[in-house]
Each structure stands twice: as structure tokens, then as C-alpha cells.
Chains A and B, each alone.
Chain A
Amino acid sequence: MLRYIARRILLMIPTLILISFVTFIVVQLPPGDYLNAYVAQLTAEGGETVDRQQIEMLRERYGLNDPFIIQYWKWISNIIFEGDFGRSFEWNAPVSDLLWGRIGLTFVVSLASLLFVYCVAFPIGVYSAIRKYSLGDYVFTFFGFLGLAVPNFLLALVLMVISLQVFGVTPGGLFSPEYAGAPWSFAKLMDFLAHLWIPMIIIGTASTAALIRVMRANLLDELNKPYVETARAKGQSEAVLIMRYPVRIALNPFVSRLGWELPALVSGAAITSIVLNLPTAGPILLTALQSQDMFLAGSFILILSVLTVIGTLVSDILLAWLDPRIRYS
């Protein structure tokens, strides 16, 4: 088991190097650089004319004229050796100041959604498998497909309009105005939790639906296997039997999903976050990409990738622990 974990961790290193490299290429891919976007933005509305000489000096100072590989090396070496993610042009602030708070909130929201997804999907999945083609199964399947089909952002908009029409309030944000700028306290935490459930449900809906289907299908495969019949013939109680054997095997995809559920939640959360006005990673990443704020965008993608890789590792370890066959192959 230990060897297995060590090998997986070693494999992470080249993966991460590759990710950081590709990230940087992708962020740099569009024509022009941040200063083009900046000049366009300044001239867009105010008729601000920007000194070309000044722009050239800025380009020099930010090292935007350097060859790609040098820019990459400067960026990545500062991150590795000094923990310095560079500077956001757009925000005029160190990237680390912007990064951690938002990443933190993103993961709180994502993990809450994940928890919601598991808590809802697991019992429903098991129920619909055992009571296949019952009325309950049909009802859950119907809502499952509905949840799968409705885009998150649309659901968010619909919920917001309903909340406006029925309750007369606009939901959105993760904090009430009075707590938005306040330091963390118990009251702020409570306020946060009160706001959390809306994005949690919206972001989780599609995944819930998908997981219900997966759980149901897997369990159905197992339920007809001979060992189930045998155990049943030997008088094993139905509840213990199902929970102990077929469910445990059907659980595998549930766990292996963990790794890729995280990035899906984060990217799915981007659009929803914009609509719901959440101070999470998605919206700021989007604007950073639009304005070619490369260090900010690059750092966000890098951190999210690292967390995804770690998520995959955790899910692999969990799987190996759950299912001995994986450990030995």
C-alpha cells in the first residue's frame, strides 16, 4: 500500500510540470498581451490616449518582450522557490492576495456541493436500483433527467427570478452586505451558511442526477449476480446483504469520481458564480483570461490543477483501500 502511494506521488511531479507549462501556453495563446487589452480598455470609453513610449516601458518592465520560455521560467521559479505568484496587472495587486481567499471559498462551496450530491445521490441511487420500475424509481428518474438537462446557470436565474417575484429579495453573494467587509466571526459564519445552500443546490443538481444514474446502473449489475442469490438463499437479511456486498462494489465509481468531480464542480461553478455573484475563483478567472492578465490566470489554473491532481490521488488511495484488487494490479 505504501509503495502504491509513493509511486502515485512520484507520478504527480511530471504531471504538474506538464500542467504548469500547458497552462502558461494556453494563457499566452491569444494574440496580443495584457497591455494591448489594457490600452483597448483605456481608450474604449474615456478616449484616454496612452503614450506609446509609456506602454513600451511597461512592456519592458513586466518582461512581456522576453521569449516565452524565459517568461515561463521567471514565473514558475518564483512560485517554487519564493512562493511568489507574481503580480496581477488588472488588479494592481500581488496574485497571492487575490488567490487564497477565493480558492478557499471556491472549495468550501464545491465541497459543500459534493457533500450535498453524495448525500442525495447515494440513498436515491440505492433505492431506485432495489425498487426498479416502481413509482418511486420513475419519479426520481424523471427529476434526475430534469436536473441533468437543465443548465446550472439557468437554474440559478430561474431561482433568482422566483425568489424576486415571491419573496421580493434578490439572492446572490455569499454574505449579507453588513458582513461582506467584516472579519470572520461566528455571526459571519452563520450568515455564510445561510447563503451557502443556494449555490450548493444549484451547482450540485446536475452532478446529483448523474450520480443517481451511475449508482443505480452499477447496483443493478450486481444485484443479479450469483453471490447475492447465494447469500439470500442462506438467509442473510436483505438490508445487511445489500449494503454489505453489492453496494460496496457499486461504490467504486462513486469514489473514483471524486478526482474529476472537483474540477467539474469548479468549472461548472464559474458560470453559476457569475450569475449568483459569488466571490469565488470562477468569475475572477474569467476576467483574468479576458484581459490577458496572465500571471493571475495562470496561477489560478495552476492551483486548481494541483488541487485536482491531489483530489485524484486521494480518490485513488481511497479506491485502493476499498478494493484490494486495485492495490495488487
Chain B
Amino acid sequence: MTMQHLRRSVGTAALTLALAGGFSVTATADGHLHQAPMLDALVESGDLPPLAERIPANPLVIEAIEEVGEYGGTWRTAASSRTDSWMYRTINYDHLVMWNQDWTGVVPNVAESVEANEDSTVFTFTLREGHLWSDGTPLTSADMVFAMEMLRDPNLGIPSRSYRNAAGWATVEALDERTFTVTFGEPYGTFLQDLSRVSSSEMGDGLLKLPRHYMSQFHPDHNPDGIDQLVAESGFDSWVDLFNARWSSYQNAGKPTLAAWVIEDPFGEGTQVRAVRNPYYFKIDEEGNQLPYIDDVIFQVYQDNEVMLLQALAGEMDFHGRHINTVPNRPLLADAAEELGMEFIRLIPSSANEGAIYFNQTFEDEAMREVLASRDFRAGLSHALDREAICDTVFAGAAVPRQIAVSPEFPPLYNEQLANQHLEYDVDLANQLMDQAGFAERDSQGFRLRADGERITLVVQVRTDKQDMIDIADLASRYWGQVGVDVQLDVVERSLSDQRRDANQHMILMEDHSSALADAILAAAPYLPVDDDQGFGIPWFYWYAGMDNAQEPPEQVQRQIALYREMGETSVPAEQFEFFAEILQITADNFFALGTCSEEIQYSFKLDHMRNVPDVMHGSFAFAPPGPYHPAHFWIDDESLR
């Protein structure tokens, strides 16, 4: 494949965005900026500098989804744990860059602009002039250099997926107060996409979560004289424990942030987390009103989802999209919807499969491996499944039959063959394919035999924490029994399942995956062995990553890996898609794994008075909904609640 490496397009987009922002500020009705009424008194008394000094010279202007809102009110929602991603996605999705709303690419956010070099190894970011942390301290490149030093510090072990690729951690260099570079040892074409995701720790964008003026006091290199006393006062054994306890925004009230709301009541004290308006937030609406509109956000913390549901049914949840927005709960919520004035929001699901069945191509036992390696045998098993019945039974109609594939809702990567091959329920065809594969012999009980005369017994490993997958596996084993294949289910606890998988001990593994929309290239494991989150070739992944216990993959897979590496050299989504489409075609030809059902219906819900929330959203975790729709510009259209 010959493809020109084009200059990354985000830089241009940033430039236009910056211009639009400047234009908008001077073009507001009275040519002025406005702030929330609650801040007026603070400015008057001198406790807070005037608005113009608090926001960047070039604030980010948000175009409203519905209309310009009014200040005030509380957003009532819920969370289930300290590391609940719903909190990250709602009040902490302010990374350097972010997803655009139709999920076709990345746009600048905290950064004013960003530019990638030719081979996607060096990314140059520019911060906004006059951008301040929530305590009024300037945000500078020095913060970025410090944060990178902390992320790289092996003593700390801060969990962070961003700023790291196969070649290791990035280095960050400050060019001036506002400009800095992020440099990788190997090309990292999907860096900006990865940076736009939230992760399961709050370090989705680690450079912005470690403000130097605050965090440096907890590090002996930066506070050699005072650290011992701080450790002693804290009750921790070492500065490492202290440091790691202090970076968590949700446990430390008042830790400086760039987000729209600052945590005031942290997690752990009482049963709620409360965040209040950040008077230094860098976004404004089209009329020059500083965001956020909503005064504070309260997360009730629940351990029990049924009790959380009760809060929603009482009409005490303004907008929520996790834990309880499940298919079984939908009728219950729909029942209460009219009385409460509740609306449903359609989430576009990213579901490559809810029950992906992987056949281990590197299984140790040779006779069994031969069976697993037979494409006709696998195709036969696939035709033996009545997926319509399986999906209806397990998902109550909320999922549709599909192989492990990119969804038709994402045309750039949709592959018809990958999604629909060997999908129809046809027992005769299944038997014919398996006979043809050389497994026509059967024993006295009617079960098929392998070449050495032993009965074929498929052991399917499923996780205890995935009831849907257990149900699918259970139904599948009955269908396979009808075509003479003996199946045993091995339902194990998650960490044991992972351990066995990593040791390449599983025969057949079931997993579920999103990776069906723009996130397919970011979490590509279901399609090619570039991660251990798959079950067809763990030693192939070790080969790719240069780890121990590796096995050289077959030629077709090596070709996929080569394409994947080449894809890594471009930061232009359109080019990445071309590479990845070719990878997916090989995946379809190999057919190492078969899919069952793919989720079709997902929803979240809000009350009528919650405005500027779109009716349709991307639902994938990788997209971090509702983050890209700017929760800071959601508002409460009900005078009594403001």
C-alpha cells in the first residue's frame, strides 16, 4: 500500500476554532462577558478577580445543542464507587483534546491547537493564553513537564494509559510558557484519539491531573525540606503513598483542576460527592456567558443499583447514563416516565459482540489444535447456532445476530463479510461443513471424533461476572450438541480466566467487546493480536510485543501486524481507516472467532428540564458520553430548581 503521509489536520481545525472564539467574544450582544450571579458578589468583595482576568484571552466558545441557557441549579445524579467512570465523563472530561460530537475525529479543548509531525512521533501543543487552574494559578508548559516526570516516576506507578506506547513513556519538553512537545520513541498515530478517551482511572489525560504548584509539595525531589513533616502529619508510611492519595481529585477537596466543577465534598465522607462551579473555567457560550450554567453537581453514592434505581423513579435524577440504564430496567423507567417528565436518550452502541467465541489457534494439545484450526469446522459451528433465538432469549430483543465486527453505523470500517458471514442457522450446512472438514466419524453416543479417534470435547471458558455470556454459552452448547459436538462449560472467576488466558491454557474463550465504531482501531484486539484482550492467539500477541513465550504467527496475521504498524505512522483518521479496512478483510478471511449477538439498543435518561442534552449520543465508553457534548453547557430549565 502506498500512501502519502499527510500533515495532521487538527492544527488547521484549531486555528479556525481559535478565530471563531475571538470573534464571538467581541460580538456578544453588549460586547461583554457575563458570569454566574453567585460570582458577582465575590468579585465585588474582592475575593475573586473580575471575569476578564479569570478566563483565557481565547476562551473556547461552545455552540449550544439547543439554546443559550440560564445560570443556576443542581444536577442530581449518582455514582457507585471512587473510580466510577460516570464521574470522569460528566465533570472531568477536560483533556487537551477531545472527540468531536459525531465521533469522526479530534478537536482541541484545553489546548488551543495541536500539530503532529510527519511520522506521528512528535506532537506540539499550544495552551491558551491566560488559562488558570481553579485556584487562580496560571497553567503553563512547566505543569506539563512536571506531570510527565511524575507519570514516568517508577516509584509512583500512577496508572495511566495515555502518554505511553509500545516504545515506552513519552517525553515532554517545554518550548515556551504556552508551547510544549510530546515525543514518542515510535510512531503513535492514534495518540490524539487515545488522549480523547477517558480511562478507568481518572488519568485519562494525566498531564492535566497533576498541577505542579499543588502536587510538587508531596514529592521529595521538589520539596526536600518539607516532605517528611507532610508524610508524618498524613498518617501514611511513605511519601509515595501520600502522593498517590493526593492526586485523586475525588478524594481531595479543592485540588486544583481545569474542569467545570471542583470537588467540594469528596468521596468517602458521607454518601455523596458534590462538585461546585469552577470560577476559572475556560469555556463560554455564544453570548459570552462563562460556563458552566449549573451551580453544582451531586453524585449520590450507592452500593446497590436497585436503590439507585429508586432515586431515578422518585424523579430525583436529572440526567444519568450508567449502572441502571439497562434493558431489564427500561419498562420500569418507561412506566414512571410520563409522570416524572422523563425522556429517553438513544445511545448508539459500540458492540462488536456481546458473546465473542474465540478458538485458540495456538492451543498446546496438537490433536485438539487441529480441530480448532479448521476453518470449515468453525464455520460449521457458526451455522449450527440459531442466533435469532439466542439473542431474543438472552437480550430480550435488544441485540441482533452478528459476527465480531464493526457496526454498519460506522461506514468507514464496515465490512459486510466480517459482519454477516456464516450467520444463518442451517443445521444441514453445519453438518456438511464439519463432515467435509474431516470430522465425520462419530462415536456410539453420536459425538464427532478427531483424527486420532478421540471424541471432540470443546471446553468453553466463561467468566462468572458475565451472566449474559454464560447464558449464550449455555444455549450454544445445546445447539452444538445437535450437530454432534460435545461441549463443556468452564465458568470461572474473572482473574482466573485472565490468568489462564495469559498462560495460553484456554481452549475456547468467551469475551465481550465494544470496538464497533471509531473505537475499533483503538482497541483492535478482537481483530488482530495486538493486545491480550482476545483468545485466538495469545502467543502471537507476545510475538508482536516482543515478550516471552512468543510464537510466530502465520503469514496472514503477520501481514495484519505489519499493516497495523504502518497505520501507526499516520495521525489522519481517513488514512488510518484505509489501513484498518485491509486488516479487517484479513480478519474476515481468517475467521478465528465467531460472534453471537451485538447490542442494538442502549439508552440513558433525563428529566425534561435538563436542556442542551442531545437526543441521540454515541454510547461507547471510549467516546466518554456525555463528555464531548460539553456538560458545562447543560442547563436546568425550571425556575423552581435554579
CB distance from A267 to the nearest CB of B (A): 16
Q: Within the assembled complex, what's the spacing in Å between the Cα atoms of A275 and B493?
A: 25
Q: Which of A57, A98, A277 contacts B271 (CB 8 A)?
A: A277
Q: Is A170 a contact partner of B314 (Cβ separation < 8 A)?
A: yes
Is A324 part of the contact surface with B, judged by Cβ < 8 Å?
Answer: no
CB within 8 Å of B: which of A25-59?
31-32, 36-37, 39-50, 54, 57-58
Q: Is A36 a contact partner of B303 (Cβ separation < 8 A)?
A: no
A162-183 vs B, Cβ < 8 Å mask (1 yes, 0 no): 0010001110110101001100
Is the contact region of chain B dominated by helix, strand, or loop, or is it mixed?
loop
Q: Within the assembled complex, what's the spacing in Å between the Cα atoms of A31 and B492?
A: 12
B268-311 vs A, Cβ < 8 Å mask (1 yes, 0 no): 11111010000000000000000000000010111110110011
Q: Known contacts A98-B268, A170-B316: does B310 contact A45 (CB below 8 Å)?
A: no
Q: Is B235 a contact partner of A274 (Cβ separation < 8 A)?
A: no
Q: Is B85 a contact partner of A31 (Cβ separation < 8 A)?
A: no
Q: Within the assembled complex, what's the spacing in Å between the Cα atoms of A61 and B85?
A: 27
Q: Is B621 a contact partner of A45 (Cβ separation < 8 A)?
A: yes
Q: Known contacts A45-B621, A92-B244: does B270 contact A279 (CB below 8 Å)?
A: yes
Q: Which of B248, B251, B313, B314 contacts A169 (CB 8 A)?
A: B314
Minimum CB distance partner of A171 in chain B: B310
CB distance from B461 to the nearest CB of A (A): 15
Q: Within the assembled complex, what's the spacing in Å between the Cα atoms of A283 and B531?
A: 35
Interface segment among B94-102, B113-121, B196-204, B369-377: the answer is B196-204
Could you say which residues of chain B place their CB within 8 Å of the CB of A97?
A: 235
Q: Within the assembled complex, what's the spacing in Å between the Cα atoms of A180 and B298?
A: 12
Q: Is B235 a contact partner of A48 (Cβ separation < 8 A)?
A: no
CB within 8 Å of A: which of B147-164?
154, 157, 159, 161
Is B83 part of the contact surface with A, judged by Cβ < 8 Å?
Answer: yes
Could you say which residues of chain B place their CB within 8 Å of the CB of A48?
A: 159, 161, 199-201
Minimum CB distance partner of A101 in chain B: B269
Q: Known contacts A45-B621, A94-B235, A277-B302: does B268 contact A160 (CB below 8 Å)?
A: no
Is B228 part of the contact surface with A, judged by Cβ < 8 Å?
Answer: no
Is A231 part of the contact surface with B, judged by Cβ < 8 Å?
Answer: no
Q: Which of A45, A58, A93, A175 contacts B200 (CB 8 A)?
A: A45
Using a Cβ–Cβ cut-off of 8 Å, how many residues does chain B contribute to the interface with A? 57
Q: Known contacts A46-B199, A94-B236, A157-B306: does B245 contact A177 (CB below 8 Å)?
A: no
Is A286 part of the contact surface with B, judged by Cβ < 8 Å?
Answer: yes
Is A73 part of the contact surface with B, judged by Cβ < 8 Å?
Answer: no
Is B229 part of the contact surface with A, judged by Cβ < 8 Å?
Answer: no
Is A327 part of the contact surface with B, judged by Cβ < 8 Å?
Answer: no
Could you say which residues of chain B place their CB within 8 Å of the CB of A286?
A: 303
CB distance from B349 to the nearest CB of A (A): 15
Using a Cβ–Cβ cut-off of 8 Å, how many residues does chain A contribute to the interface with B? 52
CB distance from A151 to the nearest CB of B (A): 14
Is A287 part of the contact surface with B, judged by Cβ < 8 Å?
Answer: yes
Q: Is A47 a contact partner of B523 (Cβ separation < 8 A)?
A: yes
Could you say which residues of chain A place their CB within 8 Å of the CB of B241?
A: 87, 92
Q: Within the assembled complex, what's the spacing in Å between the Cα atoms of A276 and B493?
A: 29
Taking each of B248, B307, B499, B622, which has the highest tally of chain A beta carbons within 10 Å of its own beta carbon?
B307
Q: Is A46 a contact partner of B157 (Cβ separation < 8 A)?
A: no
Minimum CB distance partner of B522 in chain A: A47
CB distance from A86 to the nearest CB of B (A): 8
Could you say which residues of chain B place their CB within 8 Å of the CB of A157?
A: 306
Is B498 part of the contact surface with A, judged by Cβ < 8 Å?
Answer: yes
B69-100 vs A, Cβ < 8 Å mask (1 yes, 0 no): 00000000000011101000000000000000
Q: Is A93 a contact partner of B310 (Cβ separation < 8 A)?
A: no
Minimum CB distance partner of B246 in chain A: A92
Could you say which residues of chain B place their CB within 8 Å of the CB of A173?
A: 270-271
B427-467 vs A, Cβ < 8 Å mask (1 yes, 0 no): 00000000000000000000000000000000000000000
Could you say which residues of chain A place their CB within 8 Å of the CB of B533?
A: 43, 47
Minimum CB distance partner of B160 in chain A: A48
Q: Is A49 a contact partner of B201 (Cβ separation < 8 A)?
A: no
Q: Within the assembled complex, what's the spacing in Å between the Cα atoms of A90 and B234?
A: 17
Q: Which of A84, A164, A177, A283 contacts B313 (CB 8 A)?
A: A164
Q: Is A49 a contact partner of B531 (Cβ separation < 8 A)?
A: yes
Minimum CB distance partner of B74 in chain A: A177
Q: Within the assembled complex, what's the spacing in Å between the Cα atoms of A277 and B159?
A: 30
Is B44 part of the contact surface with A, judged by Cβ < 8 Å?
Answer: no
Q: Which of B236, B274, B522 contacts A87 (CB 8 A)?
A: B236
Q: Within the assembled complex, what's the spacing in Å between the Cα atoms of A42 and B203?
A: 11
Q: Is B313 a contact partner of A46 (Cβ separation < 8 A)?
A: no
Could you say which residues of chain A place their CB within 8 Å of the CB of B495?
A: 31-32, 36-37, 39-40
Is B5 part of the contact surface with A, judged by Cβ < 8 Å?
Answer: no
Q: Known contacts A46-B197, A87-B236, A97-B235: does B314 contact A40 (CB below 8 Å)?
A: no
Q: Which of A47, A61, A84, A161 contacts B310 (CB 8 A)?
A: A161
CB distance from A60 to the nearest CB of B (A): 10
Could you say which residues of chain A place their CB within 8 Å of the CB of B32?
A: none
Is B494 part of the contact surface with A, judged by Cβ < 8 Å?
Answer: yes
Q: Is B622 a contact partner of A92 (Cβ separation < 8 A)?
A: no
Could you say which residues of chain A place their CB within 8 Å of the CB of B311?
A: 170
* The 6 residue pairs across chains A and B that have the minimum distance between CB atoms: A46-B200, A180-B270, A181-B265, A46-B199, A94-B235, A36-B495
A residues whose Cβ falls under 8 Å from a Cβ of B: 31-32, 36-37, 39-50, 54, 57-58, 61, 84, 87, 90-94, 96-98, 157, 160-161, 164, 168-170, 172-173, 175, 177, 180-181, 274-279, 283, 286-287
Subset of 12 A-B contacts with CB under 8 Å: A40-B494, A46-B199, A93-B251, A164-B310, A168-B314, A170-B311, A177-B272, A180-B269, A275-B304, A278-B271, A279-B271, A286-B303
Given A92-B248, A180-B265, A181-B272, list of 5 further CB < 8 A pairs?
A31-B496, A37-B495, A46-B161, A46-B200, A278-B271
